[in-house]
Amino acid sequence: MVSQVELNAASDEELMLAICADDTLAFEELVLRLQARLFHFALRRLSDRQMAEDMVQETFLKVWRHRNSFRHGSRLSTWVFTLCLNLIRDQWRRTKPESSIERPEVALAAELSGLRKHQDDPSDEAYRRELSALILEALQEIPDRSAELLLQRGANDLTLEEAGTRVGLSPDAARAAASRAYKKLKNYLSKRMD
């Protein structure tokens, strides 16, 4: 078992090795590292704070239960976010589309957008979900701080400077990080979508 100071400095790979050895302190460190990002990721897809919190909790339970199935050498955050995305997809499958229209905010949005005038193509929804998964993969290809910057900006409807402040970047550093991140995302997505 390693000390808390060592855990704070541990790489994701070292952290996961400790978790696979049933180290609960290492697991707590993983939760601290990823909890906020995972919550915003889930909230963005579910638009329900309680459900997003439940998904995060269920994701970490799944990480602990399946810790020995983690492929060492893989990126830990990608594995955790993929587990979360799969749980969200399961939730989408369980939720009947016709029941969501009964929620007042969904009904109002549908009415305002003219959704009632035509039927959505099921392939459109599948495409949106696959695109979400692809964007999640792309976010794993940029530095964690840049990914957090973009997630903060999108999830909380912040300016780039406000999001930069939340992740500890000056306005100039936030603009530079975002510019580099958007270029990397564009390149990654263009390669994957060809």
Q: Is residue 133 situated within a structural domain? A: no
Q: Is residue 3 situated within a structural domain? A: yes
Q: How far apart are CA 10 and CA 113, in angstroms?
A: 49
Mean pLDDT in residue range 161-171: 86
The 3-state secondary structure of 82-147 reads HHHHHHHHHHHHHCCHHHHCCCHHHHHHHHHHCHHHCCCCHHHHHHHHHHHHHHHHHHCCCCHHHH
Interval 126-157: pLDDT, tens: 667 776 777 777 777 788 788 888 777 777 77
- Residue 146: its pLDDT value, please? 82
Q: How far apart are CA 77 and CA 97, in angstroms?
A: 31
CATH code at 91? 1.10.1740.10
Q: Is residue 102 situated within a structural domain? A: no
Interval 38-95: pLDDT, tens: 999 988 888 889 999 999 999 999 999 999 988 888 888 888 988 998 898 888 877 7
Q: Is residue 35 situated within a structural domain? A: yes
- Residue 120: its pLDDT value, please? 52
Interval 4-52: pLDDT, tens: 657 777 888 888 889 999 999 999 999 999 999 999 998 888 888 999 9
Interval 104-133: pLDDT, tens: 555 555 555 544 444 455 556 666 777 677
- Residue 35: its pLDDT value, please? 93
Q: How far apart are CA 107 and CA 116, in angstroms?
A: 9
Q: Is residue 165 situated within a structural domain? A: yes
Q: Are residues 88 and 146 in the same domain?
A: no
Task: Determine the structural domain holding residue 151 and report its residue range.
Answer: 141-194
Q: Are residues 83 and 15 in the same domain?
A: yes
What is the number of domains present in the chain?
2
Q: How far apart are CA 90 and CA 185, in angstroms?
A: 27
Q: Is residue 62 situated within a structural domain? A: yes
pTM (whole model) above 0.75:
no
Neighbours of 188 (CB within 10 A): 18
